[in-house]
Structure 1
Amino acid sequence: MGLAAKFFAIILIFASLLGGFALEGGSLISLWHPSELLIILGMALGAFLASTPVAVWLRTLMFLRRYFSGDRISKALYKEVVMLMYDLSRFARAEGMLAMEKHLLEPAASPIFAQYPSVLRYPELRDFVASNLNYLLLNPPQSEDFGGLLEMQIDNYMDALQEVPRATGKVSDWLPGFGIVAAVLGVILAMGLLGGDMDVAAIGQAIGAALVGTLTGVFFAFAIVAPFSHAVEVMIRQERALFEMVKVLLEAFEHGVSPNLIRETGKQLVPPELEIDWEK
């Protein structure tokens, strides 16, 4: 989903909630209770931090940036990966595998990698290519299960990324409960207004504020956090597809496939919806 589409979806969510409430004659100001937000979102954040390691915090921030800055897996990245593997294969054929060592040990300083800025900005992918080509340099080709080694690396990386939607999915499950906690606190405050000189209007407002707590918990659970968790899962599936393509190209490199065939194989593995113009 493009960045503009995401913002449209978020606006649609809030407009549907607030617009529908206003059309029913509700006062929007009656939904504004900062204390409820503090209780619910503060508890949700605290529970998230308490239940996950720092590495998951950092990956969650990474996915938040990606969510609001556009898709990381782009046409340019796919095209650059295919052409990088093509150029590396050509270089190995022309200069020999040993001549590739300096490019693989320091890809950030390599003139070959420098032609592909999208790959350089993706350190996990860059290192996946460089380290595994270096592995082929240090080991006789086809001496071990190279494909199995690549698959294990991909699985380990994807398992680490999956910790993010697992954690945010838990937060989505917990938010309605935190909303109930806020609602109970509101009811306790409303009960404190009961007495000889009861102000019925004040009691009604207090109970209404308590119910907003329940609404807020459910709203953030199912309209904000759950969609974000699903979006992260989609991003992870896109990353796996990219890494699986690179795995095939690395295996082709290992088996001595020609540079032109490596390039054509890569073209066939690009998701069709990207519609890359290979002539440019």
Structure 2
Amino acid sequence: MFQIIGIVVVFVMVFGGFTLSGGHFDVILHSLPYEMMMIGGAAAGAFLIGNKPKTVMKTMGDLGKVFTGSKWKASDYTDLLSLLFLLTKMMKTKGVIALESHIENPKESAIFTRYPRIMKDHFAVEFICDTLRMMTMNLEDPHQVEDHMENQLEKHHHEAADPAHAMQTMADGLPALGIVAAVLGVIKTMGAIESPPAVLGGYIGGALVGTFLGVFIAYGFVGPFAAYMTAIYDEESQFYKIIQSVLVAHLHGNAAQISVEIGRGGIPTKMQPSFLEMEKTLDEIPAEVG
């Protein structure tokens, strides 16, 4: 919602100020299609040249995050803690053997399938299962497991944040592409140097529209989009950090309830359930699950 308001504010303030100062849109409107073709087309081409196909496709898909925000909601964090509680409790009470069927085939697990939103995230499921599988192989050094999980999280976050980096690179290049369009406008003007001053003025004005568009799009839209996408990726990565916190806490010998409480502390404040809310949720889980 705030992003839509921000876009409106940018347009109103820039073009409203231009209008109130006595500016006319004739030159801008006349040059806009051609300048956008040069600047936008060059930016799109450079984007394709500078990024892997996977990054290009992911960027297109993730642009919607600017308006929808993080994919994880408050209920998802509660579900994650509930899932981890059941898994760590089972390890404590029934041993690692009882856990194997759940981590080897989570799609048929009575524990995992209780939380379909988490099941849709392949990395979250694999991250949990791979770590628990390491524990079942008697790799119980908390520091070694934590280091391994940290490496996995860093790799995943780096790959997930590629679209934001690609967008920022585009934002950095747009002003220069605006100058390219402006220079072409100057070349056009010089080719018609014998024209009347009114005609030359229109040519020069059209050339300056290119510079304006490059800077305007870069700093008014693409740059802020990249910054907000980075913030969203950072917030989403916290979801996986909670998995690490709970499982490492479990390796240190804490009870399932304590491990979950340690993980609860890492949830973003606006989505964090209270201690009592989390306790009530865990108490409501049917005894037969797991």
- Asked if Structure 1 and Structure 2 have the same fold, meaning a TM-score greater than 0.5 normalized by the shorter chain, the answer is yes
Spell out, residue by residue over 1:138-185, the C-alpha distance to the aligned partner (whole angstroms, 9 max, x if none): 334238711111111111112223433333222212111100111111
The question of whether the paired residues in 1 share the 8 Å contact of 2:69 and 2:232 is answered with no
- How many equivalent pairs are there? 275
The question of whether the paired residues in 1 share the 8 Å contact of 2:139 and 2:145 is answered with no
Do residues 183 (structure 1) and 182 (structure 2) align?
A: yes
The question of whether the paired residues in 2 share the 8 Å contact of 1:183 and 1:212 is answered with yes
Q: What is the Cα-based RMSD across aligned positions, in Å?
A: 2.2
In 2, Cα distance between equivalents of 1:62 and 1:87: 33
In 2, Cα distance between equivalents of 1:31 and 1:39: 15
Do residues 208 (structure 1) and 205 (structure 2) align?
A: yes
Do residues 139 (structure 1) and 125 (structure 2) align?
A: no
- In the alignment, what sits opposite 1:242? 239
Do residues 194 (structure 1) and 226 (structure 2) align?
A: no
The question of whether the paired residues in 1 share the 8 Å contact of 2:102 and 2:111 is answered with yes
Pair 237,70 (structure 1): closer, same or farther in 2 beyond 3 Å: closer
The question of whether the paired residues in 2 share the 8 Å contact of 1:76 and 1:118 is answered with no
In 2, Cα distance between equivalents of 1:16 and 1:108: 52
- In the alignment, what sits opposite 1:46? 45
Do residues 224 (structure 1) and 238 (structure 2) align?
A: no
Greater Cα offset, 179-188 or 52-61: 52-61
> Unaligned 5+ residue runs, structure 1?
none
Equivalent position to 1:254, from 251, 254, 267: 251
Shift of 1:40: 0.5
The question of whether the paired residues in 1 share the 8 Å contact of 2:264 and 2:272 is answered with no
Q: Which amino acid aligns with 1:39?
A: M
> Unaligned 5+ residue runs, structure 2?
282-290
Spell out, residue by residue over 1:90-132, the C-alpha distance to the aligned partner (whole angstroms, 9 max, x if none): 3334443222223222323333122223312322222211221
Do residues 117 (structure 1) and 89 (structure 2) align?
A: no
- In the alignment, what sits opposite 1:83? 82
- In the alignment, what sits opposite 2:284? none
Q: TM-score, normalised by structure 1?
A: 0.89
Pair 239,25 (structure 1): closer, same or farther in 2 beyond 3 Å: same
Helix, strand or coil at the partner of 1:26: coil
In 1, Cα distance between equivalents of 2:26 and 2:90: 66
- In the alignment, what sits opposite 2:27? 30
In 2, Cα distance between equivalents of 1:199 and 1:107: 76
Shift of 1:80: 1.5
Pair 122,65 (structure 1): closer, same or farther in 2 beyond 3 Å: farther
Greater Cα offset, 76-85 or 263-272: 263-272
The question of whether the paired residues in 2 share the 8 Å contact of 1:193 and 1:199 is answered with no
Do residues 5 (structure 1) and 2 (structure 2) align?
A: yes
In 2, Cα distance between equivalents of 1:144 and 1:22: 63
- In the alignment, what sits opposite 1:16? 13
Pair 146,211 (structure 1): closer, same or farther in 2 beyond 3 Å: same
Pair 71,143 (structure 1): closer, same or farther in 2 beyond 3 Å: closer
In 2, Cα distance between equivalents of 1:28 and 1:106: 63
The question of whether the paired residues in 1 share the 8 Å contact of 2:186 and 2:203 is answered with yes
Helix, strand or coil at the partner of 2:12: helix
In 1, Cα distance between equivalents of 2:197 and 2:105: 73
Q: Which amino acid aligns with 1:224?
A: F
In 1, Cα distance between equivalents of 2:231 and 2:246: 23
In 2, Cα distance between equivalents of 1:26 and 1:149: 60
In 2, Cα distance between equivalents of 1:144 and 1:39: 54
- In the alignment, what sits opposite 1:68? 67
Percentage of pairs with the same residue: 29
